[in-house]
Structure 1
Amino acid sequence: MTSIPAASDASPPRLVELDALRGFAALAVALYHFTAEYSDLYGHSVPLWEMRFGKYGVQLFFAISGFVILMSLERIERARDFVWSRAARLYPSYWTAVALTFTVVTLFGLPEREFSLQTALVNLTMFHELLRVPHVDTVYWTLTIELSFYLLMFVLASTRTLPRIIPIFIVLVVLQTLAELAAQSMGMTFVARLASRPHLQYFALGVLAFKQSRGELSVPSALALVGVSLAHEVLVGSEAPVPVFGVVLGIAYALSRGWLRWLTWRPLLFMGFISYPFYLVHQNIGYVLIRRLEAAGWRPEAAIAVALAAGFLLAIFITYRVEQPALRGYRQWRRKAQARTAVPPHIA
């Protein structure tokens, strides 16, 4: 799942279309979970239309992250500030979501999605997938990918190689593709799956869009990165079919050209604002509600509407009572730290 960077006090105006895209992607993923995936897992009481293409909102999230994280890194003076801002943005909401999801599923039950307290505690690290510990909520699988991308970007910022990010990404996507092809040819399915996890081909689209929006992208380098990314999708494939890559590429290009500034519908912008907490809490808690309501005789459509409403309310609570206070606290701490370092030693 993608996330909004903590803006600095002197940050430029927000690109509202990013929030709108994030809101759309979050809604698409939720509708996929509540219609298609729920039907596959538990079965709705009566058939209904399934929004199966909504699952590919995740690929749009990755592209948005490529754009936003590069933009965030260009605003900060020290690479370590990026780490602190990401932690302040991600962890408080995530810890709250893990606690809520674990509590609701433990109290009300959800077949094959009930886990021990120990599993929940390991989930709090956000690195649990690397330890092969199951997710308290399966949506967390994208967080490992996001963290891997953040680590890569932190390394590039620390080594001052961000200006060469396009050729670096070309090389990385080629290496990712070759590693997957080699592992597949040797029958090493686990290694092939591991090599595919970075999803660099989608983050690359966001990186390209940001560079294009700043007029810092040459046509040959853009074509080269798009070419190797498309080659990955054609030769190896991923969790999304090739046409999804084309759609996300088109959206990223429109974003880079400023063609999406008409996306100013307030409900969609607000959905983007609360999208990270919503993404974290909607799935398993929603499944619990849908199962209970359909068992009580509710129509699936009504049960899904209640699950969405519950996700919205929980996301609003987490945004205003957890996420935003944590970000304000981080910014106050950073201002004080900057003020202390600005005082000459003989005065202090």
Structure 2
Amino acid sequence: MLGNPTGGQRSGRRMAWLDALRGIAAMAVVLEHSFKFLLPEIRQPVKAVFEPGWYGVTVFFLVSGYIIPASLERRDSLRDFWISRFLRLYPLCGVCVVGVVLLMLAGWDGLHIWWSTRPMVMAVAHLTMLQNLLYVPNLVNVLWTLSYEMAFYLLVTAMFALGILRRSTASALTFAVAAVLGAGTLPVALLSAGGSWRMLTVVLGVAVLIAAGLVAVLAGSGVVRQAGAIVIAVTVLALLAVNQNFPGPGRGLLILATMFAGTVLYRAERGEISWRQAGWVALVPLAGVWLATGEFGLQAAIAAAWVTFVAGMALRHRNVPRGPAWLGLVSYSLYLLHPLLLESVERFWPKPLAVPLGLRLLALAAVVGLLFGLSALTWRFVEAPAQRLAKRLVSGGGSSGEMTRREPCPAVPGATGSPAA
């Protein structure tokens, strides 16, 4: 991410362009994953010139960076921010888990063996949503991006508590430099690799540190609050630096640079900084293209994602067609549920090349149609009610003095950023 948390009224107005971008990004990811299960003959030729999946997630990360810090500053409350984030992320993830259980009951055996041999590690890591930074296999392949979303939320929380959240340009460039310098040199899974007990210790340790840090930031004051912020920041930065697996330290750090670059563009658009200062973030996509040397499809995807986002900003005052805006509204559902439908196809057609192309194209159309229907249902009965609950809790709870900023910030329209935001 990466929408309208309460309905279509706001979606059709000031932030509809973000919905449209999310809808485009979500369908790009669906297209990428459909290659494996239904169109394997074109998978490599297409990815050689353009990687739709990486294009989609890059757009999601840019949108998330654009709106998440703005949402926190608008709320002026870390408590309200985390109520909103929790009820945005976890209910639909619960639906995804139910879907996996149903697949298993139907005979799907795609779960990683660690769910049998290391169940506590797998469960706790997924509850933190940092599993991809803990060297823990994802329950569903697309969940890897949520680990970077969660890392971003935690870093934004720490920076907000320390009063440095507005240093967005420096953050984006720092992560970009770290990505370039760290590619090929930073270790992979330095903390978690080395046996089940070591992994369990790291997972539980990270969960405790993050939980303690959040409690200190949300309920503490003064030195306690600052200490909690530092604990959160150090823990997340350590995971990003030495414990990543896919997509690797360089590209993982680039993801954080991309999200903070989205924040810079937001600040320039709001007039908080000059466009000349914001122009420095052009180094972020250049770093991404450099890291993807020799992978033209990935380079094209990164460049296209940035062009798409900048074009969306340029056209943000124009009316957005209902179709793309609706896709953005349900994009989190589209993103989490489509792998389950495609896994179901594999259950019947384990060797897609043995199936006539016409039938596979019909199956793809059926999967997309079913995905739209399921996403509409999960939006209506899971996502929207959860977000209405978050709104009631936020409206009723108020903000304590220690959880609000000391200086005023400009009001921004509330909207969500990533498929999970």
- Normalised by the length of structure 1, the TM-score is 0.80
Map residues 153-232 of structure 1 onto 2, 5 A cutoff: 153-180=156-183, 182-183=185-186, 193-198=248-253, 199-227=255-283, 229-232=284-287
Deviations 1:86-132 (A, max 9, x none): 11111111111122123224423255778847487453442333443
Matches of 1:95 and 1:66, distance apart in 2: 25
Deviations 1:324-343 (A, max 9, x none): 111111221222222999xx
Deviations 1:174-221 (A, max 9, x none): 23322225438xxx9977923532312321442232122212332442
Corresponding residue for residue 225 of structure 2: none
* Aligned equivalent of 1:338, options 376, 380, 398: 398
Asked if 1 retains the 8 angstrom alpha-carbon contact of 2:14 and 2:317, the reply is no
Aligned partner letter, 1:327: Q
- Which SS does the other structure have where 1:299 is aligned? helix
Map residues 235-246 of structure 1 onto 2, 5 A cutoff: 235-237=290-292, 241-246=298-303
Deviations 1:144-170 (A, max 9, x none): 011111111112222221222212322
Map residues 63-102 of structure 1 onto 2, 5 A cutoff: 63-102=62-101
Aligned partner letter, 2:83: W
Asked if 2 retains the 8 angstrom alpha-carbon contact of 1:105 and 1:114, the reply is no
Aligned partner letter, 1:128: Q
- The alignment status of 1:321 with 2:381, answered yes or no, reads yes
Matches of 1:336 and 1:222, distance apart in 2: 37
Deviations 1:289-341 (A, max 9, x none): 35526688771101111211222222222111111111111221222222999
* Aligned equivalent of 1:151, options 111, 135, 154: 154
- The alignment status of 1:302 with 2:301, answered yes or no, reads no
Q: CA RMSD in A?
A: 3.5
Higher alpha-carbon deviation: 88-97 or 151-160: 151-160
Measured after TM superposition, the shift of residue 84 of structure 1 is 1.7
Higher alpha-carbon deviation: 138-147 or 148-157: 148-157
Measured after TM superposition, the shift of residue 15 of structure 1 is 0.8
Corresponding residue for residue 232 of structure 2: none
Matches of 1:251 and 1:340, distance apart in 2: 39
Give the paired residue count: 327
Matches of 1:177 and 1:331, distance apart in 2: 41
Map residues 35-114 of structure 1 onto 2, 5 A cutoff: 36-38=35-37, 43=40, 52=47, 53-55=51-53, 56-109=55-108
- Which SS does the other structure have where 2:371 is aligned? helix
Relative contact order, higher structure (CA 8 A, sep 6+) = 2
Q: 1:313 to 1:290 in 2, by over 3 A?
A: farther
Asked if 2 retains the 8 angstrom alpha-carbon contact of 1:212 and 1:256, the reply is no
Measured after TM superposition, the shift of residue 136 of structure 1 is 1.9
- The alignment status of 1:23 with 2:23, answered yes or no, reads yes
Matches of 1:206 and 1:78, distance apart in 2: 21
Matches of 1:249 and 1:133, distance apart in 2: 30
Measured after TM superposition, the shift of residue 133 of structure 1 is 2.9
Percent identity between the aligned chains? 26
- The alignment status of 1:256 with 2:255, answered yes or no, reads no
- Normalised by the length of structure 2, the TM-score is 0.67
Aligned partner letter, 2:305: V
> Unpaired segments of 5 or more residues in structure 1?
342-348
Matches of 2:369 and 2:281, distance apart in 1: 40
> Unpaired segments of 5 or more residues in structure 2?
188-240, 402-421
Asked if 2 retains the 8 angstrom alpha-carbon contact of 1:170 and 1:225, the reply is yes
Asked if 1 retains the 8 angstrom alpha-carbon contact of 2:64 and 2:262, the reply is yes
Aligned partner letter, 2:52: G
Asked if 2 retains the 8 angstrom alpha-carbon contact of 1:205 and 1:252, the reply is no
Measured after TM superposition, the shift of residue 282 of structure 1 is 0.5
Matches of 1:37 and 1:50, distance apart in 2: 12
Matches of 2:399 and 2:277, distance apart in 1: 42
Matches of 2:367 and 2:44, distance apart in 1: 17
